[in-house]
A and B are shown apart, each in its own frame.
Chain A
Amino acid sequence: MSTATASPRAAFDAALLERIIASSSLPSWANDARRAAFDRFVALGLPDRRDENWMRTDVRLFKPQAWGLSGAPAAATAPEGLLAPAILSGDLAADSYADFERMQSPGSAAAAVAAGKLAGRLASVDGHVVRHELDSALVAKGVAFGPADELLASHADALRPHWFRVIDAGCDWFAAAHAAFHAASTVLYVPPGVRIADPLHVIAGISEGGVDTSHVLVVLGEGAEATVLTETAGGGVAGTAGGFHCGGTEIVVGKGAFLRMVNLQNWNTGVWHFARQKAVVHGDGRLQWTLGALGSRLSQVAQDVALAGRGASAQVNGVMFTEGRQHLVYNTLQHHEAPSCTSDLLYKGALQGKSRLVWRGMIKVDKAAQKTDGYQRNDNLMLSTEARADSIPGLEIEADDVRCTHGATSGRVDAEQIFYARARGLSADEAARLVVAGFFQQVFDRITIPQVREALARAIGGRIHRIA
Chain B
Amino acid sequence: MPAATEQLVVKGLHVSVEGQEILKGVDLTIGRGEVHALMGPNGSGKSTLGYAIMGHPSYEVTAGSIEIVEPNGTRHDVLAMEPDQRARAGLFLAFQRPMSIPGVRLADFLRHAVTNVRNPDRKEGQELMPMREFRNELKAKMAELSMDTEFARRYVNDGFSGGEMKRAEILQLAMLRPKFAVLDETDSGLDADAVRLASESIARIGGAEMGILIITHHEQLLEHNIPLQTHVMLGGRIVESGGPELAQELHKRGYERIRAAYPDAAAAEKAMEESAKAAAV
Contact = CB atoms under 8 A, between A and B. Distances in A.
B108 A421 contact: no
A461 to B, nearest CB: 9
B105 A98 contact: yes
Given A419-B57, A422-B87, A98 B153 contact: yes
Contact residues of B: prevailing secondary structure = helix
Interface stretch (B111-119, B197-205, B242-250): B111-119
B210 interface: no
A423 B57 contact: no
Contact of A429 (B56, B103, B124): B124
A435 B95 CA distance: 18
A416 interface: yes
A417 interface: yes
Contacts of B156: 438
A94 B56 CA distance: 33
Given A424-B109, A430-B112, A437 B103 contact: yes
A435 B84 contact: no
B104 A424 contact: no
Contacts of A105: none
B101 A435 contact: yes
B47 interface: no
A179 B156 CA distance: 49
Given A101-B153, A426-B113, A434-B109, A417 B176 contact: no
A428 B84 contact: yes
Contact residues of A: prevailing secondary structure = helix
B84 A425 contact: yes
Contacts of A136: none
A427 interface: yes
A425 B124 CA distance: 11
Interface in A405-462: 414-417, 419-431, 433-435, 437-442
Interface in B66-106: 82-84, 86-88, 92-93, 95, 98-105
B255 interface: no
Nearest to B118: A425
A96 interface: yes
Question: For this complex, into which size category does the number of interface residues on chain A fall?
Answer: 20 to 34
A419 B56 contact: yes
A439 B101 CA distance: 9
A303 to B, nearest CB: 24
Contact of B101 (A96, A97, A427, A434): A434
B103 A440 contact: yes
Interface in A380-404: none
A435 B104 contact: yes
Given A423-B93, A427-B124, A429-B124, A438 B104 contact: yes
Contacts of A416: 99
B28 interface: no
Given A97-B131, A97-B152, A428-B84, A420 B99 contact: yes
Contacts of B216: none
A382 B99 CA distance: 19
A165 B262 CA distance: 86
Nearest to A416: B99
Contacts of A442: 103
Contact of B131 (A94, A424, A427): A94
B57 to A, nearest CB: 7
A97 B84 contact: no
Interface string A82-101: 00000000000010111011
A439 B54 contact: no
A152 to B, nearest CB: 44
Contacts of B172: 424
B107 interface: yes
B117 A97 contact: no
A424 B101 contact: no
A100 B131 CA distance: 8
A98 B100 CA distance: 18
A426 B112 contact: yes
Nearest to A445: B103
Interface string B214-256: 0000000000000000000000000000000000000000000
A43 B155 CA distance: 55
A426 B116 contact: yes
A100 B107 CA distance: 11
B270 interface: no
Interface in A58-102: 94, 96-98, 100-101
Interface in B126-151: 131-132, 135
Contact of A421 (B57, B82, B88, B109): B109
Q: Which 7 A-B pairs have the closest CB atoms?
A: A438-B103, A441-B103, A425-B87, A425-B116, A97-B107, A438-B104, A424-B113
Interface of B: 54-57, 82-84, 86-88, 92-93, 95, 98-105, 107-113, 116-117, 124, 131-132, 135, 152-153, 155-156, 172, 176
